[in-house]
Amino acid sequence: MSIAGTRVPAASPPRSGDRPFQLLLAVMAAAVPVVIGAILVALIIAGWPAITQFGARFFVTSTWDPVARVFGVLPFMYGTVVSSSLALLIAVPLGLGVAIFLSELVPGWLRSPISFLVELLAAIPSVVIGLWGIFVLVPWVRTVLSPLLKSTLGFLPLFSGPPLGIGMLTAGLILAIMVVPFIVAVSTEVMRAVPRSQREAALALGATGWETTRTAVLPYARSGIVGAIFLALARALGETMAVTMVIGNVPQIKASLFAPAYTIPAVIANEFAEATSDIYVAALVYAGLVLFTVTVVVNALARLLVSRVARGPSLIRE
């Protein structure tokens, strides 16, 4: 209630020196959305010849023939989706398990070092993980894991065909290793943010630790955990080096996990520098545009689901 006759005055204008500075900072900040827009525009322009020539057929053609200049991205989409799904299938339960361990079970002094170690796993460059993949994981899959799977589940088409070591299965495994830290980091953060009162309510009813986690913590943190999964998915979809070093790089669609495959990032990585014709280059850019769009959408969804929990500087800023 203001006193009659008193106008609410406007705020005083910012002083000179402040305005130009704020403008400079704002321009720098605006660089971020501008660059994303520029990336989109650049991809569309460079991919335009392929977009106009192939259009939507691009997504359903499984031929990738640079010589005949026929390009279809279906095998790569298949490879990308299956390897990423396999990765999530492994990484989500494992990652959630670690997150529960870190957030509910581990004593405080141990939490920081362990989660730091998990973050270190994410810091290892992709090419190094790929290197380890070629020389350690692939032989192991070929000589230990595949025979094991074949002898127990070999009747399934999933595990048919010769175990070469390289292929969809290894790619899924290596992707799982690379995305699990994201699931752990985000899920732990989200679970720790669940208020004490929720846990106490369950415990006061006589619930065990696990029951408390299951009924009080996980449901509360559910949207954040889903966000973590989306984040991991986006990472898996875009992962290039480690995948291309172990997946075999053969554009085919096979049911078996032992078969070599190819992903969108891998084909761009392998063929872009050597692409001979303009339409070849444009087709690869078109594929890159697809990758860009999908990862942006998935990331945006992840961002919306994970509420920003204020904490100190995080070392996983991917």
Partner 1 sequence: MDRRYRFRRAKDRGMVVVTFLCTVAVLVPLFLVLGFLARTGVSALNWDFFTEIPGAAGEPGGGMANAIAGTILLITLAGAMGIPIGVLGGTYLSEYPSTRLSQVTRFTADVMNGIPSIVMGLFAYVLIVLPLRHFSALAGGVALGVMLIPTVVRTTEEIVRLVPQSVREASLALGIPTWKTTMRVVIPTAAAGIVTGIMVGLARIAGETAPLLFTAFGNRFWNWDILQPIAALPLQIFAYAISPFDDWHRQAWAGALVLVTIVLIVNIAARFAANRQVKLR
Partner 2 sequence: MNSVNKQRVASLIDHTTGIQADEVHAWFDRLHALRGITMIVAERKITAIIGPSGCGKSTFLRCLNRMHELVPGARVSGRVVMDGQDIYAPGTDPVQVRRRVGMVFQKPNPFPTMSVFQNAAAGLTLAGERNRAKVEEIVERSLQAAVLWDEVKDRLHKPGTSLSGGQQQRLCIARALAVSPEVLLMDEPASALDPASTLRIEELARDLANDITIVIVTHNMQQAARVSDFTGFFLDGELIEFGSTNDLFTRPTDRRTEDYITGRFG
Q: Which residues are near partner 2 by CB under 8 A?
A: 1-3, 6-12, 15
Q: What six digits make up the tokens of 147?
A: 């025979």
Query: 50 CB contacts (<8 Å, ≥6 apart)?
Result: 58, 71, 279, 282, 283, 285, 286
Select the binding partner of residue 299 from partner 2, partner 1, none (C-beta < 5 to 8 A, by kind). partner 1
Tell which one of 268, 279, 282, 305 touches partner 1 (CB under 8 A): 268
In Å, the largest CA–CA distance within the chain is: 90
* Cα 213 from Cα 215, distance rounded (Å): 6
Q: Which is nearer to partner 2, 10 or 204 (CB)?
A: 10
Note whether 95 binds partner 1 by CB under 8 A. Answer: yes
Note whether 295 binds partner 1 by CB under 8 A. Answer: yes
Residues within window 217-246 making contact with partner 1, judged by CB under 8 A = 231, 234-235, 237-241, 245
The count of residues interacting with partner 1 (CB under 8 A) is 94
- Closest separation in Å from C-beta 71 to partner 2: 54
Select the binding partner of residue 126 from partner 1, partner 2, none (C-beta < 5 to 8 A, by kind). partner 1
Residues within window 130-169 making contact with partner 1, judged by CB under 8 A = 130-132, 134-136
Select the binding partner of residue 292 from partner 1, partner 2, none (C-beta < 5 to 8 A, by kind). partner 1
Q: Which stretch binds partner 1 (CB under 8 A): 153-161, 186-194, 205-213, 217-225?
A: 205-213
Q: Which is nearer to partner 2, 6 or 197 (CB)?
A: 6
Residues within window 8-27 making contact with partner 1, judged by CB under 8 A = 14-15, 17-18, 20-22, 24-26
Tell which one of 82, 141, 285, 305 touches partner 1 (CB under 8 A): 285
| C-beta of residue 170 within 8 angstroms of C-beta of residue 138 | yes
- Closest separation in Å from C-beta 66 to partner 1: 16
Q: Which is nearer to partner 2, 15 or 308 (CB)?
A: 15
- Closest separation in Å from C-beta 4 to partner 2: 11
* Cα 202 from Cα 198, distance rounded (Å): 7
Q: Which is nearer to partner 1, 200 or 318 (CB)?
A: 318
Note whether 123 binds partner 1 by CB under 8 A. Answer: yes
- Closest separation in Å from C-beta 20 to partner 2: 15
Residues within window 54-83 making contact with partner 1, judged by CB under 8 A = none
- Closest separation in Å from C-beta 5 to partner 2: 10
